[in-house]
Structure 1
Amino acid sequence: MSAGSGPDTEFRVDCHVKILDDRVLARAKRAGLDAVVYAPHFTRLPEIRERAARYSDDDLLVVPAREVFTGSWHDRKHVLAIGLEEPVPDFITLEAAMSEFERQGAAVLVPHPGLATVSLRHADVAAYRDVIDAVEIFNPKRLPGGNRRARAIADELSIPPFTSSYAHLRPSVGVSYTAFDADLGIETEDDLVEAFNAGVGRRVVYESGLRRLRTSTTELAHLVYENTWEKIDRLFLSGMEPTHPSHIAYDGRFDDVSVY
């Protein structure tokens, strides 16, 4: 684990981005990435998969994923699942989500642990350590103390690390990434899932200069927006989310574990 760039024998993955378009792809390629994991908020898995496939090419693999919001708006515990074959809604219990991820053989990642009321805490990670494949130990949206606490969780529980740009804004893409040994032959979504499931070695790479500071500042400002006006809009103005467990797309399968 280190800051800076690595050798050409690595497979470099920005493990969590929220946006995807031609400009994102161009920025990812300039950053030397081999893959990005695309997991937008409140978007159903089939739509994510379709968009990821449309933007993947020979130079950049776009991997579809879901950051599932378990629990209620006031106590959300985000979990990132890569390799899902069947949709999993938001606003279900953490226990139900973890059970479904395990059933499907997904790679289960913990983004920004311990961040406010939107993340798994140490006790949650400990409770599901046999299901969790990696813990994010560096997130450019977090202050240094938060990243140190995240690293401590991974170290104390002996869970492999990862990092991502957690990009909600295009300039953030590639500012931090996870680098796997290219000898693993990662070429597809399934290969990446297997790399996480098997706990193979990797480096956590991030920038620490002015670009990191600029990224942190702009992304934190966006976070404030997300949790004020945008949240109010979602709660009171927009109606049912497409990833709500009561949505017709889930055919009532998650009604008994819905928190709303």
Structure 2
Amino acid sequence: MDEFRVDAHVKVLDGQVVERAKQRDLDALVYAPHFTRLPDIEARAERFSDDDLLVVPGREVFTGDWRNRKHVLAVGLSEPVPDFISLEGAMAEFERQGAAVLAPHPEFATVSLEAHDLRAHHDRIHGIEVYNPKHWQHHNDRARELAGEFDLPEFGSSYAHLPGTVGEVWTSFEERFKTVDDLVTALKDGAPRTVYHRDGVQHRLRCAAEFSHLFYENTWEKVDRLFLSGTEPTHPNHIAYGGRFDGVSIY
């Protein structure tokens, strides 16, 4: 089999996730958990990678403030980038590091890049998500419209926050990759690919479970983490960033 199957955005990673990914004939996962610093993501990705499954570290950066978040997925970062910086600041840093920049769940809820953002940063964006289980059908349709309007390569992911959703969606590339750098290059070059997803009753149930999880994830859990639990490790004021992002910090 010459194709390379990637679930291009998952939030969970453990032995169960790896087993499910292999059962579903995936070759790679992009692991990008919320509010986790890049070195920790990289270490966990390396721990669960093997000859049969490449786990690729990624960062879904929360740009803007809590009420006006713009999530951007970066793959191939060489240095940590915090959350809660301006969109322009994040895009400039991704470009400086040569990362592949992807637009997850476009125009979804209040947490996504919109058409005017895609237009403004078109030259810095390497792909747009056209299917994930949290979407309703009209979200997928709109995402494909945006991909066509801005001539951006498509990708799909399970966007799995729950282990059972891993592998429900995948992006299949026509060529094989051996390393993270190979995949990053393919994303940046717009390598040919096709987006697939499972179907049937079980898939619809997985989609419903993920959508239900969305409500909890974006209400008390995150408010508690951000405002009640102290400084996040990906907050731009964290000592780990050495003040590098003070000029583009929102908080």
Q: Distance in 1 between matches of 2:222 and 2:84?
A: 15
Q: Where does residue 88 of structure 2 map in the other structure?
A: 95
RMSD (CA atoms): 0.8
**Residue identity in the other structure for 1:77:** K
Contact residue 226 and residue 232 of structure 2 kept, 8 A: no
> Can you give the 5+ residue segments of structure 1 that lack an aligned partner in the other structure?
1-7
For residues 7-33 of structure 1, the C-alpha deviation after alignment (integer angstroms, 9 at most, x for no partner) is x22100000000000000000000100
Q: Distance in 2 between matches of 1:159 and 1:236?
A: 36
Q: Where does residue 37 of structure 2 map in the other structure?
A: 44
Structure 1 residue 127: Cα displacement: 0.9
Q: Where does residue 220 of structure 2 map in the other structure?
A: 229
Specify which of 200, 207, 213 is matched with residue 216 of structure 1.
207
Structure 1 residue 231: Cα displacement: 2.2
Q: Secondary structure at the match of 1:130?
A: helix
> Can you give the 5+ residue segments of structure 2 that lack an aligned partner in the other structure?
none
Structure 1 outlier segments of 4+, above 4 Å: none
Alignment of 1:25-36 (within 5 A): 25-36=18-29
* Percent identity of paired positions between Structure 1 and Structure 2: 61
Is 2:185 aligned against 1:194? Answer: yes
- TM-score relative to the length of structure 2: 0.98
Contact residue 141 and residue 215 of structure 1 kept, 8 A: no
Q: Where does residue 76 of structure 2 map in the other structure?
A: 83
Contact residue 63 and residue 87 of structure 2 kept, 8 A: yes
Alignment of 1:109-128 (within 5 A): 109-128=102-121
Q: Distance in 1 between matches of 2:243 and 2:5?
A: 39
Contact residue 133 and residue 211 of structure 2 kept, 8 A: no
Give the count of matched residue pairs: 251
Alignment of 1:1-260 (within 5 A): 8-182=1-175, 185-260=176-251
For residues 174-224 of structure 1, the C-alpha deviation after alignment (integer angstroms, 9 at most, x for no partner) is 000000013xx4111000000011111000011221122111110011100
For residues 119-144 of structure 1, the C-alpha deviation after alignment (integer angstroms, 9 at most, x for no partner) is 00011011111010000011111100
Q: Distance in 1 between matches of 2:21 and 2:140?
A: 23
**Residue identity in the other structure for 2:178:** E
- TM-score relative to the length of structure 1: 0.95
**Residue identity in the other structure for 2:223:** I
